[in-house]
Chains A and B, each alone.
Chain A
Amino acid sequence: MKSVSQAHDAPLFYCQGLELGYAKQSETILTGLDFSIHAGEIVALLGPNGAGKSTLIKAMSGVVAPQAGQAWLQGSSLSDLRPREVARCCAVVPQQMEALFGLRVRTLVSMGRYSRLSFWSGPGSEDRQAVDAALEATGMTSYQERPVNRLSGGELQRVLLARALAQQAPLLLLDEPFSAMDMAWRVRCFDLLLERPHSSAVLVALHDINLAALYCNRILFLKERVIAYDGPVEPVFSEKLLSDLYETKIKIAPHPETGRPQAFPVPGARCVHPFAGGRRVPTPDEPMPGTRTGH
């Protein structure tokens, strides 16, 4: 048990020996997860397709029950919390949403307030202000009466981010939240994440490692069912390490404005034609990672 004086240092989320999969008997997707997330952090969750990024986010928000191990949200065991209590601690932006019936943008954003309403009461002025602010921040104010099934993919993602912001939870879990946005909106949305209160933290699953380098202060890299790397951003940006992690040749150069490291994949590096006698783009200074062949 942690004493009250330590409470502000206590992690927002922390897990021990967490093992994840979708059913008790089925194959384990992630195993031996031990990590914590503290207030003030922006953590990039990276990893190749199918590494378990979405599964981890679902487990952290209590949707997928762990096969083994335990997780705590703000000091309470996740398995003991009701959905409403979980929603007050963490807000989630899902990777995709099927807008089956045309709920209005404002309705969808207002859903972020649900966990703060009692069974009998409707939304109060505080709730309306939170929704207004979230719509404003994501530039969706003029769209608020529009049905969500008439939005483009990027606009829908802005609505989902607005909903998570309106939820005002200390932990934000974002699953590829900006993948359909144009470059300008990606940057704007990341800037929004920097403006959040210092008592909160963000875990954002990404494929764009360069955005992670520009905005995040920690990287959690999932690969082959385990956490392959957990630590600050800079050490990841070695050409050897990144090439190993992604199993393709990657070059690194500083960002022309900020100087943060940026990664660039090399075309054709991994393209081994079966009839070309195994010829591949030569890699003079580094051995090609991954002795396994074929996909």
Chain B
Amino acid sequence: MLGLTGISLAAAIFPGAYPIPFDAVLATLSGQETDATRKIVILDIRLSRICLSWLIGSGLAASGVVFQGLLRNPLADPFTLGVSSGGAFGASLAITLGLAGAGSVFGLRALPMAALAGALAALAAVVALGRIGGQLRRETLVLAGIVISTFLSACISLFKALNEESVSAIVFWIMGSLQGRSWDHVLLILPYYLLGCSLMLAFSRELDFLSLGESQARQLGVATTQVRLALLGGAGLVTAAGVAVAGVIGFVGLVVPHMVRLLLGAEHRPLMIYSALLGGLLLVWSDVAARVILPGGAELPVGVITALLGGPFFCFLLRRQRAGHS
């Protein structure tokens, strides 16, 4: 799996609108490439984009594992608790106010920053609403997520209605894309990704317990409230970071954990690690597909590719599950 990941990360450099010969890649990596355009395409455009898509794909898949185990719901995904709506709200606000291209913090435009702020604020609001008597209960969490998402979606619709010029920009952003992302975006999300992933991995063993329900986890010795908060924070950070730079890329966080569960079993630690690897791979290749399917250098939003792949697969999975129960 690791080998496949390495090979894919390298192989994904080649496909794209601008042709790259094999020796040019070798030359660039060893610092001997003289053609400046090739160097920029390889290092700054392709490689950064591959790294970003791998980070986002692996983060979404790992968060999916956490949300499904934590909420004890096989249909949960990283966006169930409204992180995506928060990000979309932040981005739409920036687009509507005409700030999308304005400002620059750490060499970045305001859009990803606004999306990140929106996603984190939505997560914080859901956790605050879902905390009743100091306990995080999954029913109240899901309800809080639905309330926040619905409210924010209404706000986004309001923005669209108020400012018709921004509709296409908002829609394109919500569909999810990795077009034109750079190392700056990688650097923006890397701290959140690393912090979130270490939290999720540290408490992955406890996910097994939480998936049995509150009272059993407690009776076996898990400090459920603290562990839940840590896992939720970790998964939320990673998801928010992904949403901030690439928009809402669906299905990776929903389908990948199920695929790995079918192959490996339900133990959450291996499930999380392999889901992250597979999720990274899936998004790298989906992004490759997104940039080569249309002729003439035009790109599809990568969210469309993952949904096109994920939709049918998910139907298959549901049917299989139904068949297994009857």
Contacts and interface: CB of A to CB of B under 8 A. Distances in A.
Given A63-B215, A98-B213, 5 more contacts: A63-B218, A83-B219, A91-B219, A103-B211, A115-B220
Interface of B: 68-69, 72, 74, 205, 208-209, 211-216, 218-224, 261, 265-267
A30 to B, nearest CB: 17
A91 B224 CA distance: 17
A63 B219 contact: yes
Nearest to A163: B220
Contacts of B266: 101-104, 147
29 contacts: A61-B218, A61-B219, A62-B218, A62-B219, A82-B223, A83-B223, A83-B224, A84-B222, A85-B221, A86-B221, A87-B219, A87-B221, A91-B219, A92-B216, A94-B215, A94-B216, A97-B216, A100-B72, A101-B68, A102-B265, A103-B208, A103-B265, A103-B266, A111-B220, A112-B220, A114-B220, A114-B221, A147-B265, A163-B220
B176 to A, nearest CB: 28
A107 B221 CA distance: 15
B72 A83 contact: no
Interface residues of A, number: 30
B215 to A, nearest CB: 4
Contact of B261 (A61, A90, A101): A101
Nearest to B219: A92
B220 A63 contact: no
Nearest to A87: B221
A88 interface: yes
A58 interface: yes
B215 A58 contact: yes
Contacts of B265: 102-104, 147
A63 B214 contact: yes
A114 B222 contact: yes
A187 B69 CA distance: 36
A114 B208 CA distance: 11
Given A111-B208, A111-B209, A101 B219 contact: no
Contacts of A111: 208-209, 220
Interface-centre pick from B209, B215, B221 (highest chain A CB count, 10 A): B221
Interface-centre pick from A84, A103, A115, A167 (highest chain B CB count, 10 A): A103
Interface of A: 58, 61-63, 82-88, 90-92, 94, 97-98, 100-104, 107, 111-112, 114-115, 147, 163, 167
A107 B178 CA distance: 39
A92 B209 CA distance: 14
A16 to B, nearest CB: 22
A175 B221 CA distance: 18
A87 B267 contact: no
A82 to B, nearest CB: 6
Top 9 A-B pairs, shortest CB-CB distance? A87-B221, A115-B221, A101-B266, A84-B221, A92-B219, A63-B215, A61-B219, A102-B266, A103-B266
B246 to A, nearest CB: 28
Contacts of A104: 265-267
B65 to A, nearest CB: 10
Contacts of A115: 220-221
Given A61-B218, A87-B221, A94-B219, A100 B211 contact: yes
Contacts of A91: 219
A167 B209 CA distance: 14
A101 B221 contact: no
Interface-centre pick from B205, B220, B265 (highest chain A CB count, 10 A): B220
Contacts of B208: 103, 107, 111
B135 to A, nearest CB: 11
A100 B321 CA distance: 12
B212 to A, nearest CB: 7
Given A107-B267, A147-B265, A101 B211 contact: yes
A103 B221 contact: no
Contacts of A83: 218-224
